[in-house]
Each structure stands twice: as C-alpha cells, then as structure tokens.
Structure 1
C-alpha cells in the first residue's frame, strides 16, 4: 500500500473550536476548556483512504494555529507548506463568518494558492444559540476567489462528534484529487516599521522574527509559549511593559543558539520597533 504524508491547517478565529475538533477526530474525546493556541501545534493522525486509484495509507499532520485576529506574520509563517485547510466558523458568532471571508481566506490564498478547502460550521449542537445559517456558509463557500469548485460545507459539533470524521476524511481525499502546483511564498517582510501600528503588531513581528531566526514557527512555538507565560504577556491585550520583558526573555533563549553579538543585535532591532508604534 502506498504511503503519503500531508499537512492540513485549521483556520478560524479564537475559540471557534479548532483544538476541540482536532481532539475529537484524533482521540475521539471532547474538552470544552478553552486553551489559547500560540504559534503552531501539530497533531498526527494515521489514516487509511480508499481512492479511485486504490487504497493508500496517509499520515495527516494537523496544524492548529493562533486564531487571534491581527497576528498576520505569525499566521502566514504557520501556513507555509500546507496542502489543505479547514476553515472553522462558530455558528453562534456571526463575526467569525465574516472574518473567514475578509481575513482568513484571502490570507491562506495569498500564502499557499488555491489549496483544497473545507468549511466547518462548528458548535452545531447549540441550535438555540445559532446565528449563522447553512445559507450563510454557502454564500462564503461560493465566493472563494481562485477556486473553480464549490467548497464543501459541514455542520459539525466537537462536543457530540457530529460530522467531524466525515469532514476530515473529505478534505483528506481532496488532498489527492485536487493537486496543485505548490506556491512559493514571498519572503516575509518582518521588522518593517511601516507595518507597525499597535502593540499587537509589535508582538506579531517580534515572534515571527524570533521564529525566523530559530528555523521556523514549529521550533519556536514551545519557547514562545513559555516566555509568554513567564512574562504574563496576554496576546489579546498586550502591553508595552510586558512586550519589553518578552523581548529580553527571547534574547536569553537565543544565547543557547547564537553568538552574543548576534543575540544583542536581534534584541536591539526588536526594541527599535517600539519607536514606530502609532497607538498609545
């Protein structure tokens, strides 16, 4: 039996249920405790698929990335080399649908090109609280620029397991049916003063630059997560005081990998970004 490995990224706003969907699919369990994802977390699932060409063995590498709106550089770094994407909407929060159309779909298309997509309307068990309809999802699915087919839609519930496995199996099959030439992403424009407008932008560029220096977002994620916890930096409401401490902590991490002069150079260039912050 032929063996393959493919990368699948889950996209969508914070708290739409991406982590819970992965947990339901991989280990068939549910946990409603919200845990903020930082950087990229990778979960592996071995699958057997029956394709037209015959049965295959697939190792699906499932990427769970930060859903906080505004961390574009970190998110773009997390999309690199993705073969397919699941776009997750919280059916009880209409803004998560609009962000899919205005934020997530344009960004994934910019980085990867028209890779296979599936749209999930999650939390389908909350029927009374639902504010997003299937027709709303169809509107988004039929207007994905660059796609010559209607993107499949599933109403899912990580809590009950409804349609979760079907959605993952569907997109896994698409990874082989809709083969595209991989798009070579443009080099990230990190540490660009013209792109710094808020404290959040500072954090975004600092984390992306740290990851770039360390060899990728996968390697950087454990370090970033730990230093966020140590400094008390809240990604939803970052403050300059916490970001300054965060920069110093990242420099300490780099002392194990780089020469002292390079560590200090990185620390200084990150601190210099504060001069270009536009908000107060």
Structure 2
C-alpha cells in the first residue's frame, strides 16, 4: 500500500474539516467547532482498474484557518505530497484568500510534484443565495488552469463530489509513481522504496 501526506489549507469556516469528515467518516456536523492547530485523520481509497486497482492511504492534516494559527501552517504542509486549498463558494472574498494560500505553497514548498487541488465548498447553499454573492466558478476554474491545479466544487454537507476530489488526487499520485510501483511488483524487488508521507521524516512536524 502506498502512503501519501495530504494537507488541507484555507481560511476559517470554509469547511475544511467538514470535507475531511465526509471523506473519512461519511458524516457531517452542522455545528462543528473550529479546528485548533491541526487535526490528523487517515483514509484509504482504491483506484479504478485503469490504475491497477491500486490502494492508497492518505495521511491527512487538517489545519486551522484562524489567523492566529496561520504561522503554524508551514509545519504541516512541509513535505506534503498533495494539498487541498479550500474556499467557500458563497463568499466572494473567499477565493482571493485561497489564491494567496496557493501562492504561498508554490513559493515555500517549491516542489513541482506537489499536487494542489482548489476546492470550492458549500455547493448546497448556492441555490439559497443571490447570484451576486457567489464566487464566479469561471474565475476559480481559470485560476486553477493557469496554475496547473486540480479543481472541484463540492458540498461537504451532501457529499457531492467529495470522493471525486480524493480519487483525482490519488490518480495523479499513482501516475507520478507508476514506474516505482511497477518496479516494486517485479520478482526479487520487494525492497523498492516508494514515496512515503513526511510523517516518517524526522525533520517534519509530523514525526
């Protein structure tokens, strides 16, 4: 089984924890309290036959979005294999803040193999808001394309598209590591080293 470190970033109240709990526990809490510092969860997924039905394990760090915890974020995204940058589709100022998170990741992680997925959450509320108060999907999608990001809009409340986010990330990770995976399956090559999450890195926050 391949293991990868995944981190969630974004401002407070965009629904990062709700996305993770929908993915890991298939549950939703309308009144979930804000994360303090960071929370750790893990979950496995099985890719489709096209990707050799490979099983991946995500070791997930859900970071706090409050400004007072922002300085801690680099400890959690250091050596990450993938990142979800989350914004609220019902709050116009949410996307610009997400863009700043993406810029920070690109500047400080400096790893072209880092997979970043821009995720717009709270799709279930779209029909309840005036269109003028919504984030322009085209703007978000264009930003994602220009920066080579995966892009999804989801609802943690209903579960819409949540699994798809992690499946897409898993497929991208598989393709990045396909050669190593194939090599490890050859006879007498049981010791091939595959990419591991930075929870095993003595210099990371997660050791």
TM range (shorter): 0.7 to 0.9
Structure 1 counterpart of 2:106, from 94, 109, 112: 109
CA distance in 2, matches of 1:69, 1:141: 24
Query: Structure 1 residues 29 and 177, CA, compared in 2 at 3 Å: closer, same or farther?
Result: same
CA distance in 2, matches of 1:131, 1:124: 10
Cα deviation, 1:11-56, whole Å, max 9, x if unaligned, reads 1111100000111111111112142222221101022123655222
Aligned to 1:60: 58
Query: Structure 1 residues 8 and 216, CA, compared in 2 at 3 Å: closer, same or farther?
Result: closer
Aligned to 1:97: 95
Structure 1 counterpart of 2:139, from 128, 136, 139: 136
Report the Cα offset of residue 138 of structure 1.
1.4
Query: Structure 1 residues 81 and 94, CA, compared in 2 at 3 Å: closer, same or farther?
Result: same
Q: What is the DSSP-based 3-state SS (H/G/I as helix, E as strand, rest coil) of the residue aligned with 1:108?
A: helix
Aligned to 2:35: 37
Once superposed, what is the RMSD of the aligned Cα atoms? 2.2
Task: Compare 106-115 and 118-127 and name the one that shifted more.
Answer: 106-115
Cα deviation, 1:75-107, whole Å, max 9, x if unaligned, reads 111111210011111011121100111x20121
Query: Structure 1 residues 157 and 53, CA, compared in 2 at 3 Å: closer, same or farther?
Result: closer
Aligned to 1:121: 120
Query: Structure 1 residues 40 and 51, CA, compared in 2 at 3 Å: closer, same or farther?
Result: farther
Structure 1 counterpart of 2:18, from 20, 37, 52: 20
1:188-203 equivalences under 5 Å are none
Cα deviation, 1:85-133, whole Å, max 9, x if unaligned, reads 11111011121100111x2012111232231121111000111325112
1:140-179 equivalences under 5 Å are 140-144=143-147, 149=148, 151-178=149-176
- Larger helix fraction of residues: 1
What residue ranges of structure 2 are gaps of 5+ in the alignment?
Answer: 178-194, 196-202
CA distance in 1, matches of 2:117, 2:2: 20
Q: Is the 8 Å Cα contact of residues 41 and 218 (structure 1) preserved in structure 2?
A: no
Q: Give the length in aligned residue pairs.
A: 177
Larger Rg: 1
Cα deviation, 1:111-164, whole Å, max 9, x if unaligned, reads 3223112111100011132511211211321332xxxx4x22211001111111
- TM-score normalised by L of structure 2: 0.77
- TM-score normalised by L of structure 1: 0.58
Aligned to 1:9: 7
